[in-house]
Structure 1
């Protein structure tokens, strides 16, 4: 906590960019702004970060330990922490005693702080003796980890954010950076504006918002990235674009990698045919890459989330090794991490096939080092179960107890209905979460209340290896406790009191830092991860720790603790000396024979389903779903299709469709955005059972995984789309939550002072007035009730008013094109309705057309589409002009591509 009136400097809890945040608490209000001193974002925040204050609400929080007896109790009952932890310790110990350490498991999260991650891995790998601890980071960046280790010998990201700005060519592969990492995207855009000669290439099957900044867009067929980069490797060699000295002196395996590339993608024409891209575009990309020495290839989920993800990563790295474009300013392969602390988790061995401090689980010396340092009775000797196979083992009964921390696998894992079955059968399930009710907590025998962002204290590491403090500025609600504390309490209950006698996160961080140095100098190949310069910090030093990139060796000659400026200034560029972290200090070319996704499309499932994020939501919406601002842009689940595929599937824009695969199905609204190529579909990942009746896209996803990394195939699942026929569509705005048991389909949207429900039905309704009163919970005969019905058109409208203040309203029609929600939302901000408002409720539109701002486009400033269109028609013919007039696009810039599209369409003559 900081002094009153002074902001707390912390970090944003969303993506792996790792932006610094200033938080000022004034009474019940929390002001969130960008930290101008943080080197990552220099005061900028995307809309998700800017709206963090709206998510700090008490609704739905898990506040007390809860217990459901494994013997068959149906409801969770409140218990003390001692009781809950005694049960957890007893049940895990019993199962370990009866069935061995491989019969228990932990499934953790990139949402954990490094200190939480460290204690979890110490407990499991050193005191249970099993490596059955995996993380949801397996789902987003484990292919990058595996690719780094194969090429470099250690999981090292070799570039920084400054390199993105220094590069003359930035290639964004499988990354909708504009939406998923907005601050990084804006840094690239700003650098490009300052140096127009800088080029940006986007490699993505979809025409996303990121392509707005692209000089070249390659809409490659999903799953063909290895062909593209094998072809590039072959092209570069054929045209003599080779750093011969670097290849000869500092690498191995080139001949084999080139032979495979030549054999599978030896000509531009062959690559173009396989990737489904015009040959001239492939040739233009190859020539651009060949002539640009300062090239960054930045990749994200579109590369990693694949059954060939590790080979995709290595095919990219191969091209940088061939040209010596690594270890130099503005050059290198760059994994853009998904979660806020996926990198921190990697540092402490967060994956089932790793040890802490970048040590190898299958290296006997490393196992001995870690066990000695921890003074533990045992050490895991073989890799544990990775995420997908872990839940398969739970369903099969091989794993009998699981502890899930800070993640929602019933929504986020592939084949998510299998996860449901597994947890329903599991003998003992513990869930640590900040929310009482999630899709996963429904299966908990023990629910432990965890601290949320703003309450917990520790460190995170971002995509460029920068460690930042995440500081508390709110008191713990109820009985919520840190995750590291709950884990340490189990260690103590098992008799390991000294090993888990932590009094705070600073002490844990110091132990983590000391482990990175333990035995490191004695190794023939010392590990690059080294935090010796951070060892021995006092509590005050730890609390004041400035953002710093590792390694932090303390060898800069300064007696001062490193800060963001001094540490970066003295840090040698990784790989600049041509020395890598393999046994012979040489990088490895890795041969990457290309292969298509395992399950192909067929007549029953003719579309390739792709999944990913939308601009203003995060993961499974347990945080962003609470924010009215974030819910305003994309407010319900959708399936995006090419217009011709929509026609062939018998669905239309704005209607409902069922999306099905061999593993599951969902129902979503149809979009035809024009972003997708033929025979593909896109569905966002975020919606769960608290926000939609049937929208968990994880239940549809192909559970096949990469054989090296274990990362699932989220980008290519054979699917079909069919009309979801309903008799009527409707929506409700209500100040209080409502049951949706009268409808076949629904979604819930958080508004300012209200909740909105979109719904549809298949049953004929005899009396709409009775239906509406029941749905809205109106029973008083003297209620101020406004209603209108057109039986011929099948339209019905009703509003419930209490003391001239709108309490709820309902609109129904046989068609999905119902009245604008935006102007109705504004009525809930009024303390009293005016007569014209009542007339508008009956008519179904505002009497003043200017009162309807339209759907939100710029979430940062709440600017609606209608306002933007009006400004365009009034003379604002550029995004800059709109920004000057309305402010839209002037903060995070994520809406600028949409602004440009609106300008183009608004200027087309009717």
Structure 2
């Protein structure tokens, strides 16, 4: 009889994008954790994307910062007690304020923080240190949406809910590669298309994976979103499709907004010329929007990360206001948030230009928050926004900086200059979960070990205003502590102990909710009155709920503005007259391309978490730049070669991908690679400092750059149980594989030096085998110990090909190699000559390109559903479905073309 107890899984929330998926975490007691989607969570109903599904692979403690550290006079970091480290931080801020005033100090925080972390950090800085200088990396992704919402609605309010995606008849995605960046929501939209006949329109300068499921794709010129939606506003007015009753009763400023829209984009012909899209496609979009009642327009980084981001947001909102399509089921503008708690940061005042609880710096709000906190030194003016803040560090105006849970030396514009500026600080403090990253390479004075996902308790808010709990299911390693605890301990040492005497996260959440209710009476959008008296048990069991929650019996509110009342002084929404859009122009001759940056499917931010997962590195394992065929030909670039991108601020060397989805004159490269994972892959080093004048959000989508081929004498890869350091002059990119690390590299070491290089890299410990083939211009070597593969290196020059990786990766993870496998190592393929699986297409089930290609080519599967039936690929999160569809189109189309020619 089995008497063992079954421990129920812990309900928590995914730490990646703003979809806010529910997760069931089941620790096995031996260091492992099984991850599954929570079928009861209304954000995802049990589905997880590839990143969420692989969370169990990212929970190892290797590479963690385990103890407080301080830099000694000789420059070395030494482990110290928490008391010593916290005392040093408090003393440093106190001394800096005494000498230079409160405007000389700053916090830079993160959408990775929980709401409770955010709340105490903002309270300390704005209420007790007396400076507005706390800003968040969410400034880099969602600030323009915040500014647009406030201009139109009077508050940073997302009007709708995910269920609107189920009810919509037209779904318009603008600057959003949702298939890769928000795959759970994207698949929800695809199901609406399949089951209800809804149409999907994709508007983006790139033809992304999201376009594979679209009924209409407008591949517009960069920066022209404002022209397109101004033209749409003019069109619905000209066709008398306005909701005059709604405009008259519930809005202001319509006439001026329409006059300007008609001046910017008077007719579809002019719009088509400006956005560089066929007139019939513009006209189709305009007609669909006009005649379809239930329209949801979803926008993300392609809109926000622009020098005109706020105006683009308002151009979209103007069209919804003009047709009365806001606050009702199946319609409305919808901002897709980038980070798991970007919304929570906005709620707690994590942005430098906001106070907590969605209050601004109006005198009455400053006074209200001061009285609620009993704050002795309440900040009265906004602080510096992210890019301005780091430029103030560069200029020497910020003397003390505390960075929490983010890696700005990778992600900020002009990242090299910003990293160098950190060396000017009198006090540089970092709270971090990892022991090494690009920001830590800038030599902080104090390092504070922070607990991370799975180890700390709190709440997050997703893109639809839904508050969910993140619950701890692991014990933090070493001396790591929750961020809120660290902040509160510093506050106590600064003399503010009474205001920061929290013992548990629920106490902070209750105060956060109480502040939202304080002197509110329905006048402010953000109101958690009903959650302000939660007991510890209530907080522990808190189910996902959408704010506002105005009383204890409320189940939350899915939509706002259905009653036509907004949070402006006259309760009317405002039409916004946008500035005439700056149409995209080709850069100067020295930098003839526009660089667009963004995300890939299976990685997240700077890969601190996803980089640990071999499964997630199987799809794309090195930094790349995508260029159109014409651009590649003009720049003498071949697919798979290396190219150097150069801007006025820095450079990067990336693998070339030639893609039909890229417009001529434009490039795309992903943001994830950093100094830990690639030698020359940091995109932030190139990005210019242009930013939106209203939101302060940097323009990460249109940096002028040049591109040129980079030639090396040889190229190769290295598989090793532990990362192996390569010489500085090498180009390299590193990725996790089961059993160790894959390092792709290029070098100017000629063929005569390959043996010496291999011995240098693999070492002399263990058996060493090698094979040189001068006819094929290749070299292979491997190191074994006790019949286990320790490392192997493969080199080639010119057009010589390297072996596939699939079989070799499996040998690295094997406990022991038999004689046949050892002999096959130098051939680089399985003894039975089975094919390589190729790049991973389906990360959820580990299905490679070869299997999918062969299945489609055989004729056994000519649909995504059939491929899923045979191989399971695409049957979980669905983020690989667009790639499978593209393969089907390519293979079947090629076969039809060949038959026609024969």
TM range (shorter): over 0.9
1:38 aligns with 2:41: yes
Structure 1 window deviating more from structure 2 (186-195 vs 333-342): it is 186-195
C-alpha separation between the residues in 2 aligned to 1:671 and 1:162? 37
2:653 counterpart SS class:
strand
1:743–1:760 CA contact under 8 A, matched in 2: no
* Partner residue in 2 for 1:379: 378
Q: Give distance in 2, aligned partners of 1:815 and 1:4.
A: 59
The 2-side partners of 1:850 and 1:24 are apart by: 37
Are residues 554 and 680 of structure 1, via their aligned partners in 2, closer, same or farther at CA, if it must alter by over 3 Å? same
Contact 1:172–1:297 at 8 Å: present in 2 too? yes
Q: In the alignment, what sits opposite 1:801?
A: 784
8 Å CA contact retained: 1:599, 1:717: no
| Rounded Cα–Cα distance in structure 1 between residues aligned with 2:451 and 2:730 | 36
Could you report, residue by residue, the CA deviation over 1:194-234 in whole angstroms, capped at 9, with x for unpaired residues?
112x1110001111110111100000001000000000000
| Match in the other structure for 2:64 | 61
Q: 8 Å contact 1:109–1:136 — kept in the other structure?
A: yes
Q: TM-score w.r.t. structure 1 length?
A: 0.96
d(CA) in 2 for partners of 1:403, 1:98: 18
Match of 1:158 in 2: 159
Q: Could you report, residue by residue, the CA deviation over 1:70-110 in whole angstroms, capped at 9, with x for unpaired residues? A: xx542211111100010100011001011000000000000
Deviates more, 1:287-296 or 1:833-842: 833-842
Matched position secondary structure for 1:681: strand
Q: d(CA) in 2 for partners of 1:213 and 1:43?
A: 22
Separation (CA, whole Å) in 1 of partners of 2:715 and 2:583: 38
**1:171 and 2:172 correspond:** yes
Q: CA contact under 8 A between 2:212 and 2:886: conserved in structure 1?
A: no
Q: Structure 1 residue aligned with 2:877, among 870, 877, 892?
A: 892
Counterpart check, 1:10 vs 2:12? yes
Alignment match, 1:418: 417
- 1:350-749 aligned at under 5 Å gives the runs 350-361=350-361, 363-443=362-442, 444-521=444-521, 526-554=523-551, 558=553, 567-568=555-556, 571=557, 573-596=559-582, 601-741=587-727, 743-749=729-735
Q: 1:336 to 1:755 in 2, by over 3 A?
A: same
Contact 1:607 / 1:718 at 8 angstroms: preserved in 2?
Answer: yes
Cα distance, 1:4 vs structure 2: 6.1
Change (3 A) 1:766 1:63: same
Q: Is the 8 A contact 1:854 1:865 kept in 2?
A: yes
Contact 1:533 1:553 in 2 (8 A): yes
Kept in 1, the 8 Å contact 2:844–2:876? The answer is yes
Return the offset for 1:602: 1.6
Partner of 2:255: 255
The residue correspondences of 1:79-158 to structure 2 (distance < 5 A) are 79-158=80-159
- 1:207 and 1:819 map into 2 onto residues whose CA distance is 31
State the distance in 1 between where 2:342 and 2:516 align.
Answer: 18
Which residue in 1 is equivalent to 2:222?
A: 222
1:55–1:627 contact (8 Å) kept in structure 2 = yes
Give the secondary structure class of the aligned counterpart of 2:94: helix
1:269 counterpart residue number: 269
Give the counterpart of 2:810 among 826, 832, 857: 826
Structure-2 separation of matches of 1:682 and 1:829: 34
Match of 1:76 in 2: 77
Shift of 1:806: 1.4
1:119-160, Cα deviation, whole Å (9 max, x unpaired): 000000000111000000000000000000000000000000
Moved more, 468-477 or 761-770: 761-770
Partners of 2:445 and 2:629 lie apart in 1 by: 47
**Maintained 8 Å contact 1:264/1:593:** no
- Residue 785 of structure 1 pairs with residue 768 of structure 2: yes
**TM-score (ref. length: structure 2):** 0.97
Q: Which moved more, 1:833-842 or 1:620-629?
A: 833-842
Give CA deviations for 1:547-595 in whole Å, capped at 9, x if unaligned: 000001116xx4xxx5xxxx15xx3731111110000001000001233
CA distance in 2, matches of 1:192, 1:265: 30
Question: Aligned partners of 1:678 and 1:453: how far apart in 2?
Answer: 42
Q: Which residue of 1 aligns with 2:21?
A: 19
Residue by residue, what CA displacement relative to the aligned partner does 1:299-337 show, whole Å, maximum 9, x if unpaired? Answer: 000000000000000000000010000111111000010
Please give the alpha-carbon distance, in whole angstroms, between the structure 2 residues aligned to 1:515 and 1:211: 43
How much does 1:367 deviate? 0.5
Q: What does residue 845 of structure 2 align with? A: 861
Q: Distance in 2 between matches of 1:168 and 1:243?
A: 18
The answer (yes or no) to whether the contact 1:765–1:771 under 8 Å persists in 2 is no
Residue 902 (structure 1) aligned with residue 887 (structure 2): yes
When residues 79 and 765 of structure 1 are mapped into structure 2, their CA distance, relative to the original with a 3 A threshold, is: farther
Q: Is the 8 A contact 1:261 1:593 kept in 2?
A: no
3-state secondary structure, aligned to 2:26: strand
Deviation (angstroms), 1:785: 2.2
Separation in 1 of the partners of 2:833 and 2:240? 64
SS in 1 for 2:357: helix
* 1:818, distance to aligned residue in structure 2 (A): 1.6
Root-mean-square deviation (CA, aligned residues, Å) is 1.4
Cα distance in 1 for partners of 2:225, 2:125 equals 37
Q: Is the 8 A contact 2:546 2:558 kept in 1?
A: no
C-alpha distance in structure 2 between counterparts of 1:895 and 1:268, whole Å = 35
The alignment partner of 1:850 has SS state of coil
1:719-746, CA deviations, whole angstroms, 9 ceiling, x for partnerless residues?
A: 1110111110011001122111165211
Contact persistence 2:808–2:828 (CA under 8 A): no
After TM superposition, give the deviation of residue 673 of structure 1 in Å: 2.2
Cα shift at 1:765: 5.2
Shift of 1:769: 2.1
Contact 2:586–2:593 (Cα < 8 Å) also in 1: no
Separation in 2, partners of 1:436, 1:553? 43
SS in 2 for 1:810: strand
**What's the counterpart of residue 213 of structure 2?**
213
Distance in 2 between residues matched to 1:118 and 1:347, nearest whole Å: 9
Q: 1:5, 1:26 within 8 Å by CA — same for their partners in 2? A: no
Shift of 1:838: 3.2
Q: CA deviation at 1:766?
A: 3.0
Q: Distance in 2 between matches of 1:594 and 1:634?
A: 39
Deviation of 1:827 after TM superposition, in Å, equals 1.4
Residue 861 of structure 2 aligns with which residue? 876
CA-to-aligned-CA distance 1:767-795 (integer Å, 9 cap, x gap): 42221011112x24xx3322111224431
What's the CA shift for 1:904? 2.9
Give the conservation status (yes or no) of the 8 Å contact 1:823–1:854.
Answer: no
Q: Gaps spanning 5+ residues in structure 1: where?
A: none
CA–CA separation in structure 1 for the residues paired with 2:549 and 2:535 = 17
> Alpha-carbon deviation of 1:888?
0.3
Q: For residues 508-544 of structure 1, what are the alpha-carbon distances to aligned partners after superposition, in whole Å with 9 as ceiling and x for unaligned?
A: 00000000011112xxx71011101111111111011
- Once the two structures are superposed, residues 391-443 of structure 1 have per-residue CA deviations (whole angstroms, 9 ceiling, x without a partner) of 11001110001000000000001111121121022221100010010100122
In structure 2, C-alpha distance between the alignment counterparts of 1:175 and 1:40, rounded to whole Å: 19
- How far apart are the structure 2 equivalents of 1:390 and 1:529? 27
